[in-house]
Amino acid sequence: MNFAPTEEQLMVRDMVRKFAETQIKPVAADLDHTHRHPEEICRKLGEMGIMGVSVPTEYGGAGMDNVTYVMAMIEISKACASCGVIVSVNNTLYGHPVKTFGTHEQKLKFLQPVAGGQVEGCYGLTEAGAGSDAAALRCKAELKGDKYIVNGTKTFITNGNVARYCVLAATTDTSLGYKGVINLIVDLKETPGFKVGKIEEKMGILASGTSELVFEDAEVPAANLLGKHGQGFQQMMAGLNAGRIGIGAQACGIGRACLEDSIAYAKERVQFGKPIAVNQAIQFKLADMATELDAAELLLLRAAWLEDNGHDFEKESAMSKYFASDVAMRAAIECVQIFGGYGYVKEYPAERHMRDAKICQIYEGTNEIQRVVVARKLLGQR
């Protein structure tokens, strides 16, 4: 069993770490305050290959592995969780289904610019009545000639307000349940009948836009169908499995930021004539944070390694996602506690970490759903 990263993996991690520390972290608080989409950062990350880490180079990506992707995601999210989720969606929720199920022509047209960082992608799954119950879609796609006519509204779509391309989950027949699900690649800038709906006001990850996608008799070329009819739900589940690794890595990055900020503050904050870091109560908090974060990272790296080597990783991705996000939330709570009153004000990063951490327990499958996935795998249930 070899836990040592390769030289190439370490090189990429160190490159991303340096970029995150010098280019992302200094502006993270301002991005959070202004809710501004970090377009320049996304373009630079694209030039570095980080918007499509495991996408082959012929389609604009870096042609590397998912272990490297996890390492990069942790470093980016440690600096700015909003940037982290934008990178995650490009790589997995959008990038994975197009990379895995798209034709050569679809990859050249729809994957290359996203993996290369020229534009953003998004995944249109969630609806008002279809979240954890992903098969309960009501967004309808009706084939008429050489086009699908799409009607429906998607909610809580990360990158939805800025994305150029979308993998859209729809149903051809609601009576068919999951068997009626298809995925269409939609050019959101060139689709008659599409508009961006409500942009959500959120608790955290404020530099990452979250919006409705509204389709009213929207016309999507039939050539934009991913795979075949009847494969849509399988494609959805495969994309979510990959996406959970990215969100787990985002959570781990937030947790790492909590730990680093807590250590630095505990060393400089003096009470009763000595730094609070010498108090055992503080030391135990730091030790628990560090131990749980190391465990979370190892779970994530295992899931990524299984994916890279062609093994089933559904259970492991669910485990890593819910464990890492729970760990991040606990780390964020302790970070605020260590900062005391300063942890509750926006002058310091602790309160932002707490706001950013919470969503990791909710999106890309709530942690309750992740436990259902794990239990079903353990019991041999589908």
CA 250 to chain centre: 7
CA 186 to chain centre: 20
State how far the Cα of 16 lies from the Cα of 18, in Å rounded to an integer: 5
DSSP SS3 for 18: helix
Q: To 10 degrees, what angle do helices 81-88 and 39-47 make? A: 50
State how far the Cα of 77 lies from the Cα of 328, in Å rounded to an integer: 12
Catalytic residues: 364
Hey, what are 89's tokens? 């969606």
Write the DSSP assignment of 323-374 as a string of letters. HHHHHHHHHHHHHHHHHGGGGGSTTSTHHHHHHHHHGGGTSSS-HHHHHHHH
> N- to C-terminal Cα distance for the chain?
31
